[in-house]
Amino acid sequence: MATLYDADGNPIDKTRLVEEVAAPTVTGVRQILSGHPAQNLTPRRLAALLLAAEQGDAVAYLELAEEMEERDLHYRSVISTRKLQVAGLPVAVEAASDAAEDVKAADLVRDFLNTGVLADAVQDILDAVGKGFSACEILWDTEGKNWYPSAIVWRDPRWFEFDRLDGVTLRLKGETGLPEPLAPAKFIVHTHKSKSGLPIRGGLARPVAWYYLFKSFDIKSWVQFAQVFGFPLRLGRYETGATPDDKEKLLRAVRNIAQDAAAIIPANMQIEFQSTDVRGNVTVFEGMASYFDKQISKVVLGQTGTTDVGQHVGTANAHEKVRQDIEASDAAQLSATLNRDLVRPLVDLNLGPRKRYPILKVARQEKEDVSALVDNIVKLAAVAPNLVEVSVIRDKLGVPEPANGAEAIGMKPSVSFSPEPPAEPSAPPAPHKAAQAVQPPQPAPAPDPISLAVQEELDGWEPLVSPLVNPILALAGRCSSYEDFLAGLPGVLKEQDAAPLARSLSFAMFDQRVKGGGNGRA
């Protein structure tokens, strides 16, 4: 087989496909040990590590992003929700065409999906949602004559860095610490684009980091407040002339009450409990924490209606629509990554390079209104035959193509919509000379009454039908796909006035019924 190339034109080295090129090491830069920048984090330190990340050193920022998911339960909840929404979507594969080779390539991708390797790795690939990018290594294996990924392994993003020149090209930190180009067909590199700019600045952890920091200050102050005012103040009183030893005994007793809720003191000493109204202060801490959580929800989920209570029905529905839009965007980005870094090398390694590749789609399957679809198809076929392929209709309805020789339901249409004129009737065979001699010339057959009636009624059909047909044909000319045409068809049909045609048909039916009932006498 000729040399294979990845989507960027880099030659694929098959000998490296079965090796782990980004495994962790005991020494060197690819260690599993991590720093903890979230400890004693200050606004100054946060600003410094965010600046370092966009300048090429993103280690501290990536470690902070990891800790944020561990320390902030609300952020962990919403970021997990966003990733799980996409990870739970069905994955479909569409062939590039109906050609045999394209169908074979699509079947190859479907066979791989059935192994479950991709399903286990989707969440790891979506780690880019929070951190801006993810790099998962593909471990290839041969199964007979086929190349299949046996595993898709998450690799720590700290082991990679972006090119200092363009800030976009991802490189692997080698054993020496120097960046190396990624081996072709070895990595699924997913960049999450929540905003325009450098990939390292596209992750959601970056804007959330500031709210995480302020919320941590608030929670820390809240805990300290609870420690001080969670119990009433214990005040010990001693008599004049008390010795230092007496004072020490009283202090120990007061402190012991906080721990053990019991103590003994001399009779001449007193302990009082001073109560303080702190409800207003508690509301301040709680309100600040709630505010920061809402802002984090807006950044990650685009709204608060699916995480917070107290939403009106209309508002909740609008928020749900926003959530669905975000889901569709994330799924589209994931699909593009998988088609580039997984589908293409899978097909190339097994079937060779080609101009067209199967399309993998991660998307929620919309429920099709079968009744409306069939109704529109019937109306369309009556006025614009041969416009839609039968295979498209089958895919929409989920009906497979009948096998050769299989019994199928249905009936052939009784009316032909072919625009071609009917063929001229063939001439009758030449009669026998003897018969021709004895038989007198036959008069021309009388016109068929039914044909005369049909012709009479069709004389003025065009002015009545044209206003109905022309808008549909115009819509078909404007649309670039069957889906667009089907979506616009109800609006066109709604605006049409079929009353004149209906009246004409009613009069014709009544007229012919009268004639038929009277044996043809009007």
Same domain, 358 and 465: no
Let me know if residue 407 belongs to a domain: no
Whether 37 and 90 map to the same domain: the answer is yes
> For position 370, what pLDDT does the model report?
67
- pLDDT for 351 equals 93
Beta carbons of 265 and 237 less than 8 angstroms apart = no
Which amino acid is it at 354? R
Which pLDDT score is estimated for 433?
Answer: 47
Q: 102 and 158 in one domain?
A: yes
What is the structure's pLDDT at 494?
Answer: 76
**Number of independent structural domains in the chain:** 2
Q: Looking at the domain assignment, is residue 423 inside a domain?
A: no
Q: How many Cα atoms within 13 Å fall on the side-chain side of residue 322? A: 16
List, in order, residues 6 or more apart from 207 with CB less than 8 Å away: 299
| pLDDT given at position 507 | 67
- 188 lies in the same domain as 126: yes
In the numeric block, the tokens 């471990």 are attached to: 139
Residue 235 in any domain: the answer is no
Please check whether residues 337 and 461 belong to one and the same domain: no
362 forms beta bridges with: 91
In a domain, 234, yes or no: no
DSSP state at residue 5:
B
The pLDDT of residue 271: 66
> 159 and 102 in one domain?
yes
164 in a structural domain: yes
**What pLDDT does residue 499 have?**
72
Longest dimension (CA), the chain: 161
223-227: long-range contacts, CB 8 A cutoff, minimum separation 24: 225/278, 225/281, 225/282, 225/285
Three-state DSSP state, 172: strand
pLDDT of residue 316: 56
Q: State the Cα–Cα distance between residues 68 and 80, nearest whole angstrom.
A: 12
Cα separation, 361 vs 343, in Å, equals 11
Pair (73, 41) in one structural domain: yes
Give the position of tokens 């006498």: 521
Write out the two tokens for 324.
């669905």
CA angle 106, 109, 112 (to 5 degrees): 150
CA–CA separation, 15 and 164 (whole Å) = 29
Paired strand residues for 152? 138
H or E element that contains 316: helix 313-338
- Summarize pLDDT for 149-193 with one digit per residue, the tens: 999 999 999 999 999 899 999 999 988 878 999 999 999 999 998
Residue (of 489, 504, 239) closest to 372 by Cα position: 489
Q: Which two tokens stand for residue 394?
A: 């089958």
Sequence-ordered strand ranges (E) for 50-206: 91-94, 133-143, 146-155, 160-162, 170-173, 179-181, 187-191
CA 213/CA 219 separation, integer angstroms:
10
Q: Per the domain annotation, does 42 fall within a domain?
A: yes
β-strands 146-155, 160-162 pairing: unpaired
Domain assignment present for residue 437? The answer is no
Whether 470 and 328 share a structural domain = no
Adjacent-strand bridge partners of 180: 172
Please report whether residue 425 resides in a domain.
no
**What does each of the 522 residues of the chain score in pLDDT, given as a tens digit?**
578 888 888 899 888 898 899 999 888 888 888 889 999 899 999 999 999 999 999 999 999 999 999 999 999 999 999 999 999 999 999 999 889 999 999 999 999 999 999 999 999 999 999 999 999 999 999 877 789 999 999 999 999 999 989 999 999 998 887 899 999 999 999 999 888 999 999 999 999 999 999 999 998 988 887 776 766 666 677 777 788 888 888 888 877 776 555 555 666 666 666 566 666 577 888 899 999 999 999 999 987 766 665 555 555 566 677 788 899 999 999 999 999 999 999 999 999 999 999 999 999 877 666 677 777 777 776 666 666 666 566 656 656 566 666 666 654 444 444 444 545 555 555 544 444 445 555 555 656 666 666 666 556 666 767 777 778 887 777 777 777 777 888 887 777 777 776 777 776 676 666 666 544 444
Both 474 and 330 in one domain: the answer is: no
The confidence score (pLDDT) of residue 387 equals 64
Q: Which tokens sit at 508?
A: 């014709």
Signed CA dihedral, 106, 108, 112, 114: sign only: positive
| CA angle centred on 221, ends 220 and 225, rounded to 5° | 120
* Helix/strand/coil for 163: coil
Q: Please indicate, yes or no, whether residues 336 and 467 belong to a single structural domain of this protein.
A: no
**Cβ distance 408 to 517 under 8 Å?**
no
Shared domain check, 383 and 327: no
One domain for residues 33 and 164? yes
SS3 272: strand
CA angle 433, 438, 440 (to 5 degrees): 110
Domain ranges, residue 462: 368-398+448-522
Phi, psi of 253, deg, nearest 5: -65, -45
